[in-house]
């Protein structure tokens, strides 16, 4: 059973702010989905490796060649906030 405390931790890990009501909603909704996917436990997967890629592929490494990246101003044009050619964010280190 999923608890509200677990859901609170998941929301913190996922960096999604959620109100108390939203957390309660998630307990029910995610709980129902998890109950459904729990049926996976019925499948015998003894000795079955996990899929790392659906289809086998070889020789897909590219040559390591220098390339021209996007211009700084092109990238910064999409930034919500910028200063001196850098992304501007609120204080990261708490006082």
Partner 1 sequence: MELYESTVHGLQTRLAAGELSAEELAEAVLERIDHVEEDIHSFVYRRLREEVLAEARAVDASRMRGDALGPLAGIPIALKDNLNTRGLPTTCASAILEGYIAPYDATVVESLAQQQAVVIGKTNMDEFAMGSSTEHSAYHPTRNPWDVGRVPGGSSGGSAAAVAAGEAIAALGSDTGGSIRQPASFCGIVGLKPTYGRVSRYGLVAFASSLDQIGPLTRDVRDAAIVLGAIAGHDRRDATSNPGEVPDYLAGIESGCRGLRLGVPRQLLGEGVAAEVRSAVLAALDLLTELGADIEECSLPTLPHALDAYYVIAPAEASSNLARYDGVRFGHRTRGSQSYREMFERTRAEGFGPEVRRRIMLGTYALSAGYYDQYYGKAQQVRTRICREFELAFERYTALVSPTAPTTAFRFGERMADPLQMYVNDICTVPVNLAGLPAISLPCGFHDGLPIGLQIIGRPMDEATILTLAHAYEQAADLGRRRPPLSRVPMGNDREE
Closest among 15, 79, 73, 17 to 89, alpha carbons compared: 79
| Binding test (CB under 8 A) with partner 1, winner from 20, 66, 80, 83 | 80
Tell me the torsion sign for CA atoms 43, 46, 51, 54. Answer: negative
Ranges within 35-74 binding partner 1 (CB under 8 A): 36-37, 39-43, 45, 48-55, 57, 59-63, 70, 74
Nearest Cα to Cα of residue 7 among 36, 30, 33, 38: 30
Residue 32 interacting with partner 1 (CB under 8 A): yes
- Contact call for residue 83 and partner 1 (CB under 8 A): no
In whole angstroms, give the CA distance from residue 62 to residue 92: 37
Residues near partner 1 (CB under 8 A): 6-7, 9-11, 13-18, 26, 29-30, 32-34, 36-37, 39-43, 45, 48-55, 57, 59-63, 70, 74-75, 77-81, 87, 89-92, 94
């Amino acid at each position: 059973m999923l608890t509200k405390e677990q859901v609170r931790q998941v929301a913190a890990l996922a960096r999604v702010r959620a109100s108390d009501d939203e957390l309660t909603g998630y307990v029910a909704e995610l709980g129902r989905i998890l109950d459904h996917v729990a049926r996976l436990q019925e499948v015998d997967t003894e000795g079955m490796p996990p899929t790392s890629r659906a289809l086998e592929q070889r020789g897909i490494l590219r040559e390591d060649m220098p390339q021209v990246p996007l211009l700084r101003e092109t990238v910064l044009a999409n930034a919500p906030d910028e200063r001196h050619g850098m992304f501007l964010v609120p204080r990261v280190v708490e006082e």
